[in-house]
Amino acid sequence: MKISLIQPGRNNLKYLKWSYDSIRKNQGEHEVEICVADDASSDGTWDWCLETMDRDPYFKAIKNQGPDRLGHTILYDRLINEVATNDIAMIYHADMYLCPGALDAIEQEIKPGTIVSLTRIEPPLHPDGPEKILKDFGVEPEEFNEEGLLKFLDSRVPNNDTTEGIFAPWAFYRKDFQEIGGHDPLYAPQSKEDSDIFNRFQLNNIKFIQTWHGCVYHMTCRGSRRNTSDKAVSIYQDSPEWLAQNQRSTRNFIRKWGHFVMHDKLLKPIIPPKYDIGIRLENSTSQLLELLEPWCYNILIDDEMGVQESHYFDKEQPNTKFNLKERIKSTPFETLDNEIIVKINAKTFNQQDFLYIQQLAQIIKENGVVGEFELGNLFITIKELNEYQNQLIRL
């Protein structure tokens, strides 16, 4: 099998070297092209890339000159579209050790219209889950217990052959990736771009396979989230930069999809319908405008002087590519023409009502009919029940 491994990196050179060595050691008979993007690093990553390109004809690298980072949301796609030359590629993190036989397991399962994820073996830095193996073989390359890992792999008998689910590392046909337009730059530099593209793959009838016969050892979150060489305090604490970006990306994911990220216990996406929902907010406040705006196509507020709208626009527009001036309307000059309208009075709105807002798509899908009804303190008018999630498949 010929495969291109896609690895953006920023200030994580020691992990990148560790990962590179594991790939070359354990790639077997496969022809593996390693495609790296240096995202304006300051730790010598580009010098190492130049040296490696000189001695390894199957190593390719590009560099973001900076000074601002582009993030892997952008650089994944540049590597896939501009650098990789094989039909099959794999999103692969710099903090992953490729285990022996992993590429054999991918080759056994992959075909056009499928995405194959390897099973992750991880140290206990995050909660356990049925889609991974929690076992500690070290949290830094310098303390990595390679011998212990290999002995574990030799003695391991997988509980499953395959299950459904998708997460890094995931291998795919480039044409399936390019058909939907790749990652959405809405989430740059990172966070939620993977959940977004997984939703879009699923809606485009791509099949997900997790093979339990191929593994990586994953030190987790060393790309930026917990990279101590790039603003993270420790490997046990998310960096302030990542936390702020994750909040922005979460709000943008809700604006686009109408719900939080959802998946089953094995990480297969769950995608509720996307409805044309408008919110009519009476006695509006700036706090409720900020809370509710991502959960609808349009929100109509009591703001004749435009004070709330102007303040919110100045604060939030830099965080999103959605045009907030089109999303926010003010009485008495504008009205709502959405297919579903939710009337809210800020004076009676409570936490339970907000939970209803978060689950509204599922509630309407299960129980909704054209007409009017009350849900807690919400007054809901349904004119039509058209679903729009399939319009989000392609960029």
Q: Is residue 264 part of a domain?
A: no
**Within this chain, do residues 126 and 224 fall inside the same structural domain, yes or no?**
yes
**Within this chain, do residues 80 and 158 fall inside the same structural domain, yes or no?**
yes
In this predicted structure, the answer to whether residue 236 has a pLDDT above a threshold of 70 is no
**Within this chain, do residues 252 and 281 fall inside the same structural domain, yes or no?**
no
Q: From 198, 332, 336, 322, select the one nearest 267 (Cα to Cα).
A: 198
Structural element, H or E, at residue 15: helix 13-26
Q: Is residue 267 part of a domain?
A: no
Which of these three, 210, 225, 257, is where a domain ends? Answer: 257
**Within this chain, do residues 43 and 190 fall inside the same structural domain, yes or no?**
yes
> CA-to-CA distance for 176 and 174, rounded, in angstroms?
5
**Within this chain, do residues 17 and 161 fall inside the same structural domain, yes or no?**
yes
**Within this chain, do residues 57 and 116 fall inside the same structural domain, yes or no?**
yes
What pLDDT, on the 0 to 100 scale, is given for residue 305?
65
What pLDDT, on the 0 to 100 scale, is given for residue 307?
74
Which of these three, 257, 291, 315, is where a domain ends? Answer: 257
> Could you identify the residue written with the tokens 């992959």?
110
DSSP letters of 236-262?
TB--HHHHHHHHHHHHHHHHHHSS---
| Measured CA distances, 317 to 282, 309, 320, 322, 331 (Å) | 23, 11, 6, 8, 21
In this predicted structure, the answer to whether residue 233 has a pLDDT above a threshold of 80 is no
Q: From 195, 315, 180, select the one nearest 254 (Cα to Cα).
A: 195
What pLDDT, on the 0 to 100 scale, is given for residue 230?
65
Q: Which two tokens stand for residue 272?
A: 């509720």
> CA-to-CA distance for 75 and 73, rounded, in angstroms?
6
Q: Is residue 271 part of a domain?
A: no
Q: Is residue 262 part of a domain?
A: no
**Within this chain, do residues 244 and 320 fall inside the same structural domain, yes or no?**
no
State mean pLDDT over 367-379. Answer: 93
In this predicted structure, the answer to whether residue 43 has a pLDDT above a threshold of 90 is yes
> CA-to-CA distance for 115 and 99, rounded, in angstroms?
19
**Within this chain, do residues 41 and 112 fall inside the same structural domain, yes or no?**
yes
Q: Is residue 272 part of a domain?
A: no
**Within this chain, do residues 10 and 121 fall inside the same structural domain, yes or no?**
yes
Categorize the per-residue pLDDT at 109 as very low, low, confident or very high, splitting at 50, 70 and 90.
very high
Instruction: Report the chain's mean pLDDT, rounded to a whole number.
Output: 95
Which CATH number is 228's domain given?
3.90.550.10
Give the angle 107-146-123 at the CA atoms, nearest 5°: 85
Q: Is residue 265 part of a domain?
A: no
> CA-to-CA distance for 262 and 230, rounded, in angstroms?
29
Q: Is residue 258 left, alpha or beta, with left meaning phi > 0 and alpha meaning psi from -120 to 50?
A: left
Q: Count structural domains, the chain.
A: 2
**How would you list the strands of the sheet with 298-302, edge to edge?**
328-331, 298-302, 277-282, 340-345, 378-382, 371-375
Residue with more model confidence, 332 or 170? 170
> Could you identify the residue written with the tokens 């590629």?
89
**Within this chain, do residues 253 and 316 fall inside the same structural domain, yes or no?**
no
Q: Is residue 127 part of a domain?
A: yes
In this predicted structure, the answer to whether residue 238 has a pLDDT above a threshold of 90 is no
> CA-to-CA distance for 393 and 239, rounded, in angstroms?
31
- Give burial (CB, 10 Å; 0-12/13-18/19+) of 352: exposed
What pLDDT, on the 0 to 100 scale, is given for residue 249?
97
Q: Which two tokens stand for residue 56?
A: 């390894």
In this predicted structure, the answer to whether residue 309 has a pLDDT above a threshold of 90 is no
Task: Give the predicted TM-score (pTM) of the model.
Answer: 0.95
**Within this chain, do residues 239 and 322 fall inside the same structural domain, yes or no?**
no
Q: Is residue 266 part of a domain?
A: no
Which of these three, 257, 287, 316, is where a domain ends? Answer: 257
Per-residue H/E/C for 36-51 = EEEECCCCCHHHHHHH
Q: Prior bond to 169 cis, omega within 30? A: yes
DSSP letters of 307-369?
HHHHHHHHHHGGG-SS-HHHHEEEETT-----SEEEEEETTT--HHHHHHHHTHHHHHHHH--
**Within this chain, do residues 70 and 201 fall inside the same structural domain, yes or no?**
yes
Q: Residue 375 is part of which domain span?
A: 277-392
Name which of 100-109, 200-209, 231-240 the model is least confident about. Answer: 231-240
